[in-house]
Amino acid sequence: MPRPEKVQAVADIKERLQEARAVFMAEYSGLSVKEQQALRRALRGAESEFKVFKMTLARLAASELGHDGMLDLLAGPTGLTFAKGDAAATAKVLRDFSKDHAHLIIKGALLGNELLAPERVAVLADLEPRDVLLARVAAAFKAPMAAMAGLMAAMPRNLASMIKQLADKAPAPAAEPPADEPASPPEGSALVETGAEATSDEESTAETSAAAEEAASDGEATTTDESTADQAGEE
């Protein structure tokens, strides 16, 4: 039965492996205590931590988490660097430190569930910091979105202008007579009706004149008869 100290040590390693964004494995044999302290200080600036464990316990923790690809790298005097922040920044610190200290040899890294070879760790170290990459991505999206916003803002103005131009060019609709007034008859019909009305007025005037003359004649005849009767009575 494993001792409680070993069980606790394995649990601690497993927790660190699960919480880290990346885990870097490097051989540190030959580094002095002072050099190891300098490495830890440099890694703290990148939100990372350098730890040394018994490899038997580290292998057990990795195996229980299913990281069997790490087992070959967890041999000999190997230190584990747990990156809590930007993995690229941590890789850069390790790469730069190894250039000045030949005894630090990067063996590989676990990034997520992917195992990286030393050459890929070097590529990771050459990447821009996470904040810089995010700023570049944001700038790349900002320019097209600004252009799109300008286009969308101009569309209503252009549409209104186009509609106005079409309305100005459209022919004016023919005026329709009001519903309560009859439509005007053709010019020919107006002339015929006017002539008929004039003829009717002339006939009425002629009839009136004839009636007046007849009445006058009757009056004269009556007067003449009365005068003749008066003369006969006197005689």
pLDDT tens across 94-107, in order? Answer: 999 999 999 999 99
Is 53 among the domain residues?
yes
Is 158 among the domain residues?
no
Is 178 among the domain residues?
no
Mean pLDDT, the chain cut into blocks of 10 residues (235 residues total): 84 95 95 95 94 95 94 94 94 95 96 93 84 59 62 56 57 54 48 42 49 49 44 41
CB-based burial of residue 73 (10 Å sphere; 0-12 exposed, 13-18 middle, 19+ buried)? buried
The pLDDT score that the predictor gives to residue 17 is 95
Domain finish residue from 132, 153, 173: 132
Domain finish residue from 132, 157, 176: 132
One domain, residues 106 and 197: no
> Domain limits at 198?
189-221
The pLDDT score that the predictor gives to residue 5 is 87
Which residue blocks in the chain are alpha helix, DSSP H? 4-19, 33-44, 55-64, 87-100, 118-125, 130-169, 187-234
Domain finish residue from 132, 152, 168: 132
The pLDDT score that the predictor gives to residue 3 is 84
The pLDDT score that the predictor gives to residue 4 is 84
CATH number reported for the structural domain that contains residue 11 in this entry: 3.30.70.1730
One domain, residues 122 and 194: no
Is 166 among the domain residues?
no
Is 155 among the domain residues?
no
One domain, residues 126 and 19: yes
Long-range contacts from 154-161, C-beta under 8 angstroms, 24+ separation: none
Give the length of the chain.
235
pLDDT tens across 25-72, in order? Answer: 999 999 999 999 999 999 999 999 999 999 999 999 999 999 999 999
Q: Number of structural domains, the chain?
A: 2
Contact yes or no for 129/89 (Cβ under 8 A)? yes
Instruction: Please choose, from the candidates 85, 94, 107, the residue with its C-alpha nearest in 3D space to the C-alpha of residue 22.
Output: 85
